[in-house]
Structure 1
Amino acid sequence: MTGPARAQSAASEGQKLAFDRGKGNCLTCHVIKGGDLPGSIGPELADIKRKYPDRKDLVAILNDETRRNPQTVMPPFGRNRILTEQEIDAIVDFLQTL
């Protein structure tokens, strides 16, 4: 699979991971369109592609936001091996659709 079909598939997988309470668990802290029982600790995840045009920034945030902001409550999903690189990439694909 290549092109738009692959991107759509990756974004779909990323949404599943983001909404999964045992994996990304993004809804614990963030409001995300289409998510149930969102939290209010973190900012609403909307208009992400405009806010973060370089996907590397989102990958870095998901991997270990403490490097950029030592005071963050954002879990270091990559550093703590909660999510794999491929899972982080899929979640970033999803976030860029918001």
Structure 2
Amino acid sequence: MSIAFSALALTFLAATAPAHAQSAVADGQKLAFDRGKGNCLTCHQIKGGDLPGTIGPALVDIKAKYPDRNELVAILTDETKRNPQTMMPPFGRNRILTSEEINAIVDFLETL
């Protein structure tokens, strides 16, 4: 019975993982486009976003530019550690975004 339960649990996890990933991407896009939270559109052009800014680079080919996910997380958390002259707000350091929200935005950015 334990083997059957384990197989059922693995099947469930495999079936729900893509749905969870899609949910994280959708949550990340919502946060990125939210003018009161991520606010990425204020400075960046993003496919599907309205009224983008031009202060920062266009967010395209992100996975190719940043193959290491942790680098994107660090940029959103506190880019001033890497570049003290940046105009990028330290979303994590200033607690504008939680680590879960930052990871959701990174999930979304990796689809661009």
Bigger RCO (CA 8 Å, 6+ sep): 1
In the alignment of these two chains, the number of paired residues is 98
Which residue number in structure 2 is paired with residue 7 of structure 1? Answer: 21
1:48 counterpart letter in structure 2: I
- Compare CA radii of gyration and give the structure with the larger one: 2
Over 3 Å off, 4+ runs: none
Aligned counterpart in structure 2 of residue 67 of structure 1, from 81, 97, 107 = 81
**Separation in 1, partners of 2:29, 2:69:** 16
Counterpart of 2:106 in structure 1: which amino acid? V
Query: TM-score normalized by structure 1?
Result: 0.97
Task: Give the secondary structure class of the aligned counterpart of 1:8.
Answer: helix
Deviations 1:36-92 (A, max 9, x none): 000000000000011101110000000000000000000000000000000000000
Structure 2 counterpart of 1:21: 35
User: Aligned-residue CA RMSD in angstroms?
Assistant: 0.9
Report how far residue 3 of structure 1 moved: 2.0
More helix by share: 2
Residue 52 of structure 1 is matched in structure 2 by 66
Name the % identity: 80
Structure 2 equivalent of residue 78 of structure 1: 92
Q: Which runs of 5+ in 1 are unaligned?
A: none
Instruction: Describe the superposition over 1:5-62 as per-residue Cα deviations: whole angstroms up to 9, x where unpaired.
Output: 1111100000000000000000000000000000000000000011101110000000
TM-score by length of 2: 0.85
Structure 2's unaligned 5+ residue stretches are: 1-12
- Residue of 15, 25, 46 corresponding to 1:32: 46
State the 1:4 CA deviation: 1.6
